[in-house]
Amino acid sequence: MKLSVDKASALAGIAAVAASAMLVTTVPAFAGTGRPVPTTDAAASVVENATGTTNLTTPRTGEGNLIADVAGTRVEMPATSSGKIAVTDPEGTRVAIGLPGSAAASASATANGTVMYTQPDGPVDIAAQVGRDGSASALITLKNASAPTEYRFPLDLPSGAHAALLEEGGVVVGDSAGEVVGLFGTPWAKDANGKPVPTTYRLEGNTLIQTIQTDKSTAYPVVADPKWWDKTKEIAGGMVSDTWNSMKCGAALAAAFAPGKAAFKVIKNAGGVKKVLATLASVDTKKGAMAALGSGGSTLFGIKSIKKACYDGLK
């Protein structure tokens, strides 16, 4: 296999998320009760200017929630921001993402598809978006310097699944067999001038926590975005055009990198997920990978999920 610039660049930004700016207009939509409610134009514009709108899907109302069926995935957004975004893939695997909101903040949708949970008297607004690729985003708008800088997203995961932090900053969810369920891309935040604001994830059990590092130079409002892809999207396939998908490989390694799993000791001894990924990226053949990783290569090759994601693209 011929190495490409795509492979090298992917190592530096696994699960990176691209965003573009675009002006928007909004219209009244439905809250969880099914009744029309006014949309806060200014709040929606802040979010959509930060994310763009060309890739969004407009949800429909159903059973008290807002629902989008796209790319084989169903995304359900709650009637209020005290609920959870539920993502169900075509195989029936369900992941739910709690929102850091108030029960008083009801859902309303813009013409472009952004679901807003505005809190006019509070320092934070919450929003949700569904992409045409089936991705689901929970967006936080820090309206001023009084807004908290830490936000908690409780995760409901399939039985036996666990979340793991990727060295590049994203979070992967793996099932009990080490197969990838999906991942949150590398976190991002930007201020009112479009300037990146430092932000990181950490995990406390099955709670994803995003910290946004504002300072005196930060221009408000600030928008931040945990974004979820399920495994049916090939872990954002297409962002890496090489036949060997380093994004997918890195996620598979991280999903299996849990104490007690066969891959844990091998990956740890090899220097971690990032080191193994770099080693695999430096070779063209399965034989070369085995030689580079030594006995650890044989162990990893025997793990179905890692073999499929990391080795099957090699000659």
Of 154, 122, 156, 128, which is closest to residue 140 (Cα–Cα)?
Answer: 128
Q: Where are the beta strands (DSSP E) in the chain?
A: 29-30, 36-37, 60-62, 65-70, 73-77, 84-88, 94-98, 108-109, 115-117, 124-130, 136-142, 150-156, 162-165, 171-174, 180-184, 189-190, 199-204, 207-212, 222-224, 227-230
pLDDT above 70: residue 25: no
The mean per-residue pLDDT over the stretch 52-56 comes to 94
Question: 194 is written with which tokens?
Answer: 């479009």
Residue 10 pLDDT level (bands cut at 50, 70, 90)? very low
Residue 76: the pLDDT is: 97
Count the neighbouring beta carbons within 10 Å of the beta carbon of residue 159. Answer: 6
pLDDT reading at 21 higher than 80? no
Q: What is the mean pLDDT of residues 24-41?
A: 39
pTM: 0.71
Least confident span in 142-146, 200-204, 287-291: 287-291
pLDDT of 113 reads 95
With 0-12 / 13-18 / 19 or more C-beta atoms within 10 angstroms meaning exposed / middle / buried, residue 200 is middle
What's the pLDDT tens digit per position in 237-266? 433 334 456 667 877 888 777 766 778 888
Give the residue, 258 or 278, on which the prediction is more confident: 278
Q: Which of 40-44, 154-158, 220-224 has the lowest mean pLDDT?
A: 40-44
The set of residues, in sequence order, having a beta carbon less than 8 Å from that of 195 and lying 6+ positions away, is: 219
